[in-house]
Amino acid sequence: MSKRLIAHLSIFTANVIYGLNYTIAKIAMPDFIKPLGFILIRVIIATALFWLISPLVKREKVERSDMLRLFLCGIFGIAINQLLFFSGLDLTSPIDASIIMISTPILVMVIAFILTGEKLTFFKVGGILLGAAGAALLLLTSPKEANGSGNLLGNIMILFNALSYGIYLVIAKALMMKYNPLTVLKWSFLFGMFICIPFGFNQTLEVDWASLTPKAWFSVVYVIIAATFIAYLLNNLALGTVSSSVVGVYIYLQPVIAAIVEILVGNTAPSAVKIVAALLIFTGVYLVGRKNSPQPKSLSA
């Protein structure tokens, strides 16, 4: 099996995991664990797992200049990404969150252009505008009550989470050209963990672990092991072979999976606005990714 095929299978699997995570995470949150506490718990345990398995690969000495980049990965890919995602998901619906998240490929292209000079074509610019229109439509038509279904503040948090994750993908791609995925992940999560501690410490202490139901425990384990440890590892493995834009484009799977799950469990029904918004973003993503994008250059020291 070729490295490129393995990379694509890794991204596909990671996005299936993320697509299910929108619904599964809300089983435990916020009734059993509040959002910021959930984030700190998942980041602490994932950090420990990455450091525990890191001796399985060859030890690498990280250059001092790259420590800043790893710190930025910790800020954008772990701390801001997780804090905004779970806080936003606590307020909005899984379908709205997943639709907004597929604007990430568009954001990745803009960030890659700014940081690496990746060329923007007519089709890419058109895709960016269409995707932005879809995200704006969903945001502007969201009801303004915090009932967990299409909340405006929650949707805005998810949108900025997508921006943060896009920055992470571009920075991590540059690092993956030099280091093993575990090296990048263990340092990124370590930095991200320390940033998350002040935000989630009190909510973590409030968790009544004895009150968790079997479903809530399943939610916690899934979020930590599957949606954090495994998904991040799979995405970073893929970044060593394909561009950050390719990893980003696969996010289109997430709203499809999230919508199917939500409809099957009876939590929601499709609406015309959601369908139109999704079509606009899907079209934008297609235009952005219609041709293979050039590999981003490594960030200069």
Question: Percent of the chain beyond pLDDT 70?
Answer: 83
φ, ψ of residue 120 in degrees (nearest 5): -105, 120
Which residue type sits at 34?
K
Q: How confident is the model over 251-271, as a mean pLDDT?
A: 68
User: In this model, does residue 298 exceed pLDDT 70?
Assistant: no
User: In this model, does residue 300 exceed pLDDT 50?
Assistant: no
If one compares 281 and 234, the residue with the highest pLDDT of the two is 234
User: In this model, does residue 230 exceed pLDDT 60?
Assistant: yes
**pTM of this prediction?**
0.77
User: DSSP letter string over 121-158?
Assistant: -HHHHHHHHHHHHHHHHHHHTS-SS-SSSS-HHHHHHH
Domain ranges across the chain: 3-288
Q: How confident is the model over 113-122, as a mean pLDDT?
A: 73
User: In this model, does residue 286 exceed pLDDT 90?
Assistant: no
Nearest to 122 by CA among 294, 290, 239: 290
Residue 84: helix, strand or coil by DSSP? helix
- Cα dihedral 160, 83, 15, 1, rounded to 10, equals 110
Using 50, 70 and 90 to split pLDDT, how confident is the model at 142? low
CA distance readout (Å), 12 to 30, 154, 199, 243: 28, 26, 32, 15
If one compares 71 and 108, the residue with the highest pLDDT of the two is 71
User: DSSP letter string over 166-211?
Assistant: HHHHHHHHHHHTTS-HHHHHHHHHHHHHHHHHHHHHHHHHT--GGG
